[in-house]
Amino acid sequence: MGASEFQLKKHHSIPKPEKPLLVVVLDGWGEAPDDEFNAISRAETPCMDSLKESKPDRWMLLKAHGTAVGLPSDDDMGNSEVGHNALGAGQVVSQGAALVDKALEKGELFDHDGWKYLEPAAKEHTLHLIGLLSDGGVHSRYNQLWLLIQGAAERGVKRIRVHTLTDGRDTEDGTSVKFMAQLQKDLRSLEGKGCDAQVASGGGRMITTMDRYESDWNVVKRGWEAHVLGEAPNKFKDPVEAIKALKASHCDGRRCKLQKPKEAGGKPVSDQWIPPFVIVDDDDNPVGPIQDGDAVAIFNFRADRVVELSKAFEYKDFKHFDRKRHPDVRFAGMMQYDGELKLPAHFLVPPPAISRTTGEFLAKSGVSTFACSESQKIGHVTFFWNGNRAAPFDKKLETFHEVPSDQNIPFNEKPAMQSAKITKLGIEALKSGKYDQVRLNFPNPDMVGHTGDLEATISACSTVDSCVQELINAVEEVGGTWLVTADHGNAEDMVQRDKKSGKPLMEDGKPRILTSHTLNPVPVAMGGPGLPEGVKFRTDLKEPGLANVGPTIINLLGFEAPDNMVPTLLSA
Ligand SMILES: O=C(O)[C@H](O)COP(=O)(O)O
Ligand SMILES: [Mn+2]
Ligand SMILES: [Mn+2]
């Protein structure tokens, strides 16, 4: 397809705006009934409340989970990857979770090139599997891990070592004990089949291995030391005991160094922050460091939090930390995590092919964009938005600006995060006259919501509400247009609920906290002096979802949306 085929046609009724369009994504801002555990309805949110008043013409709800964002079923909560993919692509694409399910269903995965590449090393030496131990379905899923292990054992792999990152973020805190016990039981069942399969190392996902967008390479370094070198501050013979003991070790919620006893005011460690550990044998030797000749696979399907580890395995020249030893292994990802960097070169399942996105069409139609967030989410409005592509389509037209996130701090300790800086940069970009589109992501409702701290999440929501107001004021000033939406729910429900009654589930007289995303819809609203009178949301779409935002943005920029996209939300 030549560049001219990406040239968008003029919209039949909306003229190309002279002033910028502001697109704001409130990460993890869903819609749910007023409730004491709804951090959004508890927060002071005069701006977002006032937008709702323009319902149904300029405020509506969008489906942000399950099949609307390419996930296997409507029981799957939304997440940033699939949410931003849908927003930016204007299409619903079958996502990693669904593709891996399919590849494992009849064992096709084992016929693909990726497995064929690993197989000789796995059979002759050891197969290492690294990833998130969870049934969250956001980065990985336990049933997929187990099918992979079983399939490898059936094909003659005799030695397997699993390196587990504990969740508590896409799953309820505390469930890592249950998952580890299940994994132990399942691995033991292979003993009789001549396969020695054991857990070799692990740690909480927020301090071990699963950093993203290079926010803090120390996280990956800790993982490398535990998984590859077999070195960690904590050594245990049994992985279930490891988790139980480390969870009970009471720290201040941050990292292993800061461990302090309960009497000194420490809190029990959450699954997300379990210090790294290695499993050792009776002689205190690690049971599964990674050696030359071994096969290594990452079993997460989602890219953002395993790109850095993939680089550490794959790249000869690597300067982010001292690897001490870089074993010569056969390495594969569950998917190829970055199509442009071809990272990793080998993968077990081909990733979703997301092409012809709004970003590509707009860049090739001469539209200039400023995209900004802080480190924790910068890739959401660039990489995920553009169909898992890190580089701009056109360097001259697209500016990606990252505000460094705080490091080593659970975000409930600073719920405002970098929102003030993002707002300031957004306003400057709107007023600069340099950009047709200004795209921002505010991580707060999501990042603070994941900590399970209700009060801090309420504060996060109030903060971003006032940021949105400041930005809308700036749009009013310059005469532009704005669209505000979200990628999935999180902050609007902070408790586990009984599926039938909707009542909070209780334990020891206290509600069970929900740290994960939700299945709730998200709002979308638009306005501004640049929006032609009479432009409103349509009401005839059966199930409007995040993907419908993509063509809407194209329309608001004065173009007809291309045929490969789902329908626009506009009635104009
Ligand atoms: O990676 C994470 O932080 C969570 O698993 C999902 O959150 P996100 O999809 O909002 O990034
Ligand atoms: Mn998100
Ligand atoms: Mn999240």
**End-to-end distance of the chain based on CA atoms, in angstroms?**
29
CA dihedral 382, 464, 466, 488 (to 10 degrees): 80
- The active-site residue, picked from 41, 80, 249, 516, is 80
Positive or negative: CA dihedral 460, 469, 471, 536: positive
Closest C-alpha among 520, 495, 497 to residue 173: 495
Sign of the torsion formed by the C-alpha atoms of 301, 307, 308 and 310: positive
The ligand with the least distance to the CA atom of 27 is: 2
Q: Which ligand number lies closest to the CA of residue 487?
A: 2
CA distances, 319 to each of 206, 322, 328 (Å)? 22, 7, 17
Say which CATH superfamily domain 20-93+354-496+507-556 falls into.
Answer: Alkaline Phosphatase, subunit A (3.40.720.10)
Ligand 3 centroid, distance to 516 Cα (angstroms) = 7
169 is in an annotated binding site: yes
Task: Check the annotation: does 487 bind a ligand.
Answer: yes
What residues are paired with 297 via a beta bridge?
Answer: 129, 332
Given the structure tokens 């956001």, which residue do they identify? 138
Residue 91 to residue 84: CA distance in whole angstroms = 11
Residue 95: what are its φ and ψ, rounded to 5°? -95, 170
> Torsion angle, CA of 418/419/420/424, rounded to 10 degrees?
110
Six-digit token pair at 466?
Answer: 């006032």
Q: For residues 234 and 246, is the Cβ–Cβ distance under 8 A?
A: yes
From CA 534, how far away is CA 177, in angstroms rounded?
Answer: 56
Domain boundaries, the chain: 20-93+354-496+507-556, 126-333
Residues with CB under 6 Å of ligand 1 are 27-28, 79-81, 138-139, 169-170, 305, 446
- Select from 29, 79, 213, 272 the residue to mutate for testing ligand 1; criterion: most ligand atoms less than 8 Å from CB: 79
CB 459 within 8 A of CB 40: no
Identify the residue whose C-alpha is closest to ligand 1 atom 11.
80
Say how many Å lie between the CA of residue 203 and the centre of ligand 2. Answer: 23
Atom of ligand 1 minimally distant from the CA of 167: 5
Tell me if ipTM is over 0.90: yes
Contact yes or no for 218/299 (Cβ under 8 A):
no
pLDDT in tens, 139-197: 999 999 999 999 999 999 999 999 999 999 999 999 999 999 999 999 999 999 999 99
What is the token pair recorded at 545? 């979802």
Q: How far apart are CA 405 and CA 88, in angstroms?
A: 23
Q: How far apart are CA 18 and CA 195, in angstroms?
A: 66
* 491 touches 39 (CB < 8 A): yes
For ligand 1, the distance from its centroid to the CA atom of residue 83, given in whole angstroms, is: 11
pLDDT tens for each residue of 112-122: 999 999 999 99
- Pocket test residue of 69, 80, 84, 515 for ligand 1, highest count of atoms within 8 A of CB: 80
pLDDT in tens, the chain (572 residues): 556 899 999 999 999 999 999 999 999 999 999 999 999 999 999 999 999 999 999 999 999 999 999 999 999 999 999 999 999 999 999 999 999 999 999 999 999 999 999 999 999 999 999 999 999 999 999 999 999 999 999 999 999 999 999 999 999 999 999 999 999 999 999 999 999 999 999 999 999 999 999 999 999 999 999 999 999 999 999 999 999 999 987 655 444 444 544 555 567 789 999 999 999 999 999 999 999 999 999 999 999 999 999 999 999 999 999 999 999 999 999 999 999 899 999 999 999 999 999 999 999 999 999 999 999 999 999 999 999 999 999 999 999 999 999 987 889 999 999 999 999 999 999 999 999 999 999 999 999 999 999 999 999 999 999 999 999 999 999 999 999 999 999 999 999 999 999 999 999 999 999 999 999 999 999 999 999 999 999 999 999 999 999 999 999 999 999 999 999 999 97
Residue 441 CA: which ligand is closest? 2
CA 12 / ligand 1 centre spacing (Å): 39
Residues 149-153: contacts with CB under 8 Å, at least 24 apart: 149/186, 149/187, 149/190, 149/197, 150/190, 151/104, 151/107, 151/109, 151/110, 152/122, 152/127, 153/190, 153/193, 153/195, 153/197
Q: Say whether 310 is catalytic.
A: no
**Å from CA of 292 to ligand 3 middle:** 36
173 is in an annotated binding site: no
Handedness of CA 250, 253, 259, 260 (dihedral sign): negative
Tokens for 393, please give them.
């389509």
356 is in an annotated binding site: no
Q: What's the CA angle centered on 461, arms 455 and 466, to 5 degrees?
A: 130
Report the relative pairing of strands 159-166 and 330-333 from DSSP bridges.
unpaired
170 is in an annotated binding site: yes
**pTM for the full model?**
0.95
Q: Which residues lie below 8 Å from residue 196, measured CB to CB, with a gap of 6+?
A: 158, 159, 160, 190
Q: Quick one: CA torsion of 48, 370, 92, 472, rounded to 10 degrees?
A: 20
User: CATH classification of 126-333, choosing from 3.40.50.300, 3.30.2320.80, 3.40.1450.10, 3.40.50.1370?
Assistant: 3.40.1450.10
